[in-house]
Amino acid sequence: MFKGNALVIGASGGIGKTLVKQLHESGKYEHVYAVSRNLPASPLEGVQYYSLDSESEDLVAEYCQQLKQIGGQFSLVVCCIGALHSTGDDNQKFMPEKRLEDIQKEQLSFYLTTNAILPAIWLKNVEKLLKGPEPSKLVFFSARVGSISDNSLGGWYGYRASKSALNMLIKCAQIECQRRAKNITLISYHPGTVETELSKPFQSKVPSGKLFSTDFTVTQLLQIIPNLTPEDGPHYIDWQGNVIPW
């Protein structure tokens, strides 16, 4: 049985760390690579960690070239990069906008950079790692609120727009891969509301039973993706495997 390599991008976050752990423990991959800005305090033995600032396209390209030279096709790459709130360099807080008057250039730039542009840079550079004779999956953590047709509440302008932009990038890439890398399946995954720092300010409003552990949403993802094919891609799905309208 083919055992490809796996790569987790943004591996220091709550979901990223759990994903690395589950992939490593599964024994299904020849090597598991984990890249993030900060290295973990307690690294897992056997996982290949690498520290990198994803805002540098040159560093991203250099790292992917290193992985290519090491050899072995990657059968799974998961990008966990994303943000819903943050504090800027000048201590300016970025939180989802509730009304038009809340829209700010700096905040929109933050959301689009973190949730769309940085994943796009990885998308550009990891394709060569996935292309090959065996099936491979490329997963990006998106969000249901990125759906344009499913938006009935409004608000959260920057976050919604950035996730919609990410979805469009994934759609375009799948069309191109169907011409030049037919083995690659692209997936836009909504993990649900997960108990991490990303959702912390909003957890009190989550209905009972709908706040998931990182173990749960990662397990769901890894159970769903083996059955997804490039011919039907890209796939925009939630943690139940249900299709989300673009």
DSSP structure class, residue 19: H
Q: Is residue 20 part of a domain?
A: yes
Q: Quick one: pLDDT at residue 94?
A: 86
pLDDT value for 208: 60
Instruction: Provide the CA 166 distance to its chain's centre, in angstroms.
Output: 10
> Residue 140: enclosing H or E segment and its boundaries?
strand 136-141
Residue-wise pLDDT for 55-114, tens only, equals: 999 999 999 999 999 999 999 999 999 999 886 666 678 899 999 999 999 999 999 999
Q: What's the average model confidence in pLDDT over 139-153?
A: 96
CB 77 within 8 A of CB 129: yes
68: exposed, middle or buried (C-beta count within 10 Å: 0-12, 13-18, 19+)?
A: middle
First vs last Cα of the chain: how many Å apart?
Answer: 35
Q: Residue 100 and residue 109: Cα distance in Å, rounded?
A: 16
pTM over 0.75: yes
Query: Which residue range forms the structural domain that includes residue 67?
Result: 5-238
| 3 state DSSP class of 13 | coil
Dist CA 82 CA 165 (whole Å): 13
218: pLDDT confidence band, cut at 50, 70 and 90?
Answer: very high
Q: Residue 96 maps to which CATH number?
A: 3.40.50.720
pLDDT mean across residues, the chain: 92
* DSSP labels, 88-137: -TTS-EE---SSGGG--HHHHHHHHIIIIIHHHHHHHHHHHHH-SSS-EE
Q: How many CA atoms lie within 13 A of 11 on its CB side?
A: 30
Q: What is the pLDDT of residue 85?
A: 84
Look at residue 199 in the predicted model and tell me its pLDDT: 47
- Asked if residue 226 has a cis previous peptide bond (ω within 30° of 0), the answer is no
φ and ψ at residue 75, rounded to 5 degrees: -100, -10
The number of angstroms, rounded, from the C-alpha of 237 to the middle of its chain's C-alpha atoms is: 13
Q: What is the pLDDT of residue 93?
A: 81
Residue 223 lies in a domain: yes
Domain total of the chain: 1
pLDDT tens-place string over residues 158-216 = 999 999 999 999 999 999 999 999 999 999 999 988 876 654 555 555 566 667 899 99
Burial status of residue 119 (CB atoms within 10 A of its CB: 0-12, 13-18, 19 or more): buried
Q: Rounded CA gap, 144 and 136, in Å?
A: 24
Classify residue 244: in a domain, yes or no.
no
Q: Residue 52: inside a domain, yes or no?
A: yes
**Chain Cα centroid distance, residue 157:** 20
Residue 246 lies in a domain: no
Between CA 1 and CA 92 the distance in angstroms is 51
**pLDDT of res. 91:** 64
